[in-house]
A and B are shown apart, each in its own frame.
Chain A
């Protein structure tokens, strides 16, 4: 809460590929990991902050999301609808791989709202999908033996029993 000068300050972030992003400090506040670093620094942070695990593509998307959301929130009342539309487009614009990469980046940078939104998007994606789909999506190896799988099948059969599959 140090006043006007805060919103004018710019923070520079550096991605894995070495790309530099100038970010307003008000936006940087939403990147809690970055903010923590800034808070902990004794002096003003002037040199670019390296983000060893964040790629340009992801940071660019995250900043895009945050910039838009800041705009929606500070604007007029109709923002809710616009925001919802933006969010829907945002989610649709990514492949599953990109979605996963973005989640990891958002998690690392600790961007709370975005992360919740992305997690919900993933939850929606796996909604009506099979076990195999979920495994593929998350890159998980099935660690059940064939015998164990056989026993699990009863559970699955019961769950799908009497339920019409489209």
Chain B
């Protein structure tokens, strides 16, 4: 048991170590090195915050024809609206602050969407925060998925010095 605890501690330390080097353009995920990416995506191990190591659940394909509950677009949009306004209402654009903010907000939104407990759905949360400076920006996406079960929800927020765009994609695991 102590060996397991030691291993977990070593893994956590290694994870923290690699996260702190995120200042350079590199993301390390469980020893699998990715090519240099300049948008910082913070990868968290599932069950990272638990003290008791939970066994990983392997989900198998189901024979159901449709999902039990569909992706709740409006609920998720409300969550996004809520989180963005509460975190960014009074903020001014600052490079360091916004860097941290994007990571924090994406984690918060992910946690809240997870709390909705929609079975067999995988989520992707994308947050972009930018400075307003008379420039033009265009964001677009296309998805190859199942039209009937997969969906997305997005919201944008703007104040005098910054703008934020948040999107959540929900994909059914059949």
Partners in one complex: no
Report B's interface with A, CB cutoff 8 A. Answer: none
